[in-house]
Amino acid sequence: MKKALSLLLAGSMVLSLAACGGSKDTTTTTDSSSASSDAAGSDTFKIGGTGPITGGAAIYGNAVKNGIQIAVDEINAAGGINGYQIDYNFQDDEHDAEKAVNAYNNLKDWGMQVLIGTTTSAPCIAVVEKTHEDNMFQITPSGTAVECVQYDNAYRMCFSDPTQGTESAKYIGENGMAQKVAVIYDSSDVYSTGIYEAFAEEAANQPFEIVSVEAFTADNKTDFSVQVQKSKDAGADLLFMPFYYTEASLVLAECNKQGYEPTFFGCDGMDGILGVENFDTALAEGLTFLAPFVAKSEDEQVQSFVSKYEEAYGETPNQFAADAYDCVYVVKAAIEAAGATPDMSVSDLCDAMKAAMADVSYSGITGKDITWGEDGEPNKAPLVVKVVDGEYTEL
């Protein structure tokens, strides 16, 4: 009896393995909403995207997914790239390095030629290793860690963490915004730590002094009374806050409670602070931050994107969606400059696009006249945004 049972179990294991072996031909275009599903195999450019669409970081992945979708629909409606339509497939990576590699492999089975991803930094570092092996063109909309673009096949749309920290320190120094600066940052977050470290490094060259550095972690980010008190005691006249707007709203409220009124300076994670529920937007008055994208901007391209996004998904797009949207157009620009066609192999396409990227100058919704160096970092000027009368205003 045991023999029969074990045979059954052995069989089931072999079957399950065999089943995945065969899954190569059964993969289909899962994203039915993308247009041009009638176009056959090599007549379309197959662009894949990855990011977390389940779990704690789902908000970022969904924004990227939707941002790419809007750009793909626009391009397809306007006749595609070099006359070829785009096929688009987005896979979930659950903000996990291992799952991100699975998602990448899945997209490869689908026939992906260009990867727009991944959305978050840690998975991106794992995936870039694989795209480098396969020599596939990769552009990440929002992977900010330095290692995300360590190979020559990888490019970045957003600012890296160090760039943001350095730019912030320079801006504060050059505009004489403060003498004494206090920093509060999230030590459990890669993004926040990365910005802070670069900021501290650059601060040494700037005419201001960091008088207080206080950290918090993801586990205790509801009460900031200690951190604010220490910043106040240190006599800082500017508070630098390199973290996301949800925590920032609490810090601002705490400062108000303690009667502490420094200049507030943030990073691109502040975009959205005016939309926090039950938050008195008057507290954010004067808050300055560097951002790649402002939804309220009067720029024509931005307005067109924002209205399309709001219509399709019922919410205002954030910077992740904007970066993702621009990524698709950068890919389009690179392919057009290279004069590439979909029947090229992944590696040939990558080589052609790499060569073309040196000459690409792109103006989109997250910056104008953006160019890319050999290191894959974008050269673009950050927008400086200040909250004036309860509205984001570009300076």
Partner 1 sequence: MKKMSKQLRSNLITYGIVVAAYIIVTFCMQAGMVSSLLKGLLVPLCVYVILAISLNLTVGILGELSLGHAGFMCAGAFSSALFSKITADVIQPAGLRFFLALLIGTVVAAIFGLLIGIPVLRLKGDYLAIVTLAFGEIIKNVVNVVFLGRDSAGFHMSTKDSISLGLEPGGQVLIKGPQGITGTPNDSTFLIGIILILVTLFIVINLINSRTGRAIMAIRDNRIAAESVGIDITKYKLLAFSVSAALAGTAGVLYAHNLSTLIALPKNFGYNMSIMILVFVVLGGIGNIRGSIIAAVVLTLLPEMLRALNDYRMLIYAVVLIATMIFTSSQGGQEIQERMKAFFKRRSKAEEGK
Report the alpha-carbon distance of residue 211 to residue 202 in Å, rounded: 15
Of 57 and 116, CB closest to partner 1:
57
Per-position DSSP letters for 231-256, written without gaps between them: HHHTT-SEEEE-S-HHHHHHHHHHHH
Tokens of 183: 């920093």
Residue 69: CB minimum distance to partner 1, A: 13
Closest CA to 30 of 103, 94, 135: 103
Cβ at position 286, least distance to partner 1 in Å: 28
Considering the rule CB under 8 A, would residue 68 count as an interface residue with partner 1?
Answer: no
The correct pick among 69, 138, 153, 193 for binding partner 1 (CB under 8 A) is 193
β 391-394/383-388 pair status: antiparallel
* In the block, residue with structure tokens 């990888």: 154
> Does 72 engage in binding with partner 1 (CB under 8 A)?
no
Asked if 27 is part of the footprint of partner 1 (rule: CB under 8 A), the reply reads yes
Residue 81 DSSP code: B
Q: Can you tell me which of 69, 91, 142, 297 binds partner 1, judged by CB under 8 A? A: 91
Nearest distance from C-beta of residue 295 to partner 1, angstroms: 26
Q: Are 345 and 134 in contact (CB under 8 A)?
A: no
Q: Is 4 in the site for partner 1 (CB under 8 A)?
A: yes
H helix runs in 93-138, sequence order = 97-110, 121-134
Residue 94 CB, nearest distance to partner 1 (Å)? 7
Based on the shown chain and the rule CB under 8 A, indicate whether residue 201 belongs to the binding site for partner 1.
Answer: yes
Distance CA 219, CA 229 (A): 20
Q: Which of 17, 78 has the CB closer to partner 1?
A: 17
**Which residue's CB is nearer to partner 1, number 73 or number 271?**
73
Instruction: Please tell me the count of residues contacting partner 1 according to CB under 8 A.
Output: 62
User: Does residue 58 belong to the site contacting partner 1 (CB under 8 A)?
Assistant: no
Does residue 12 interact with partner 1 by CB under 8 A? yes
DSSP 18-52: HHHHTHHHH-----TTSS-TTS-GGGEEEEEEEE-
Contact string 141-160 vs partner 1 (x = CB under 8 A): ----x-x-------------
* Least spacing, CB of residue 92 vs partner 1, in Å: 8
Here the contacts of 369-372 (C-beta below 8 Å, separation 24 or greater) are: 370/330, 372/155
C-alpha radius of gyration, the chain, whole number? 23
Residues in contact with partner 1 by the rule CB under 8 A = 1-6, 8-10, 12-14, 16-24, 26-28, 30-31, 53-55, 91-92, 94-98, 101-106, 108-109, 122, 125-126, 129-130, 145, 147, 187-190, 193-194, 196-197, 200-201, 215
